[in-house]
């Protein structure tokens, strides 16, 4: 009978190396996708970026679609670290909701950030059914659910009026960020961020509870 501990010890260096290599590939793929979209990821381009053979890159995923799915999941982790998790440090209600929107807007429009996958990816895969689109939809729905929950918490906390319809406010806020992303990145309008912040502020002011 094999000694399980000995087997695990013998395999661990290769396993760690494989995990580390896959992480490097994913990071390179994420950087490519942030500039060229998910469809901009090709095995050849990626292999060249990380200094590996095409077969070496392919061995870690199995298909281009699986690679794209892994990139979406990697981006979701990044998005959570930058946008969602910091918001949890804020108190429930409007402070948390504002933090979520502000951070999302900054990574979507900011000069030193890449395009938001949740917005750019939606345009890229809006009419392309398949497992990559399904994974992207799941990520977007998770984010929208978090925003919707934050709006409801703001109402429960007494920060927003009870007459607020959460789904309608979500649509308003989401639409503003989408518009800012489009005008800033596509039309190169330098005033997009300022305008978006003003509109978001007006949405909150229109529905805030006067304390």
Give the pLDDT confidence score for residue 202 in this predicted structure: 96
What are the pLDDT digits (tens) for 57-74?
888 887 888 989 999 999
Instruction: List the end-to-end C-alpha distance of the chain, in Å, as a whole number.
Output: 72
Indicate the burial class of 49 (C-beta count within 10 angstroms; 0-12, 13-18, 19 or more). Answer: middle
Give the pLDDT confidence score for residue 6 in this predicted structure: 34
As a whole number, mean pLDDT of residues 95-118 equals 84
As a whole number, mean pLDDT of residues 143-164 equals 97
Q: Is residue 122, in this structure, part of any structural domain at all?
A: yes
Give the pLDDT confidence score for residue 138 in this predicted structure: 94
- Please name the residue that has the structure tokens 């501990």: 5
pLDDT over 70 at 131, yes or no: yes
Give the pLDDT confidence score for residue 104 in this predicted structure: 93
Integer angstrom CA distances of residue 40 from 30, 67, 159, 163: 10, 12, 43, 45
Give the pLDDT confidence score for residue 113 in this predicted structure: 61
pLDDT over 90 at 204, yes or no: yes
Statement to judge: residues 75 and 32 lie in one domain: no
Statement to judge: residues 79 and 166 lie in one domain: yes
Structural domain containing residue 139:
65-211
State both tokens at 89.
């440090």
The number of CA neighbours under 13 Å toward the Cβ of 91 is 8
Statement to judge: residues 127 and 34 lie in one domain: no
What are the pLDDT digits (tens) for 4-56?
333 344 434 455 666 788 888 888 888 888 888 888 888 888 888 888 888 88
């Amino acid at each position: 009978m094999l000694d399980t501990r000995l087997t695990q010890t013998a395999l661990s260096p290769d396993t760690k190396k494989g995990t580390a290599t896959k992480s490097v590939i994913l990071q390179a793929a994420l950087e490519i996708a942030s500039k060229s979209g998910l469809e901009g990821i090709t095995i050849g381009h990626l292999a060249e970026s990380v200094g590996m053979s095409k077969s070496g890159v392919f061995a870690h995923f199995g298909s281009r679609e699986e690679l794209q799915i892994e990139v979406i999941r990697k981006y979701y982790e990044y998005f959570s670290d930058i946008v969602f998790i910091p918001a949890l440090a804020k108190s429930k209600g409007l402070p948390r909701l504002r933090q979520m929107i502000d951070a999302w807007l900054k990574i979507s429009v900011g000069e030193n950030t890449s395009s938001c996958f949740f917005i750019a990816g939606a345009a890229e895969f809006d009419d392309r059914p398949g497992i990559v689109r399904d994974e992207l939809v799941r990520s977007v729905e998770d984010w929208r659910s978090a925003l919707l929950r934050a709006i409801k918490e703001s109402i429960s906390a007494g920060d927003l009026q009870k007459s607020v319809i959460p789904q309608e406010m979500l649509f308003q806020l989401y639409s503003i960020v989408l518009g800012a992303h489009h005008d800033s990145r596509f039309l190169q309008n330098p005033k997009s961020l300022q305008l978006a912040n003003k509109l978001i502020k007006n949405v909150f002011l229109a529905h805030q509870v006067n304390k």
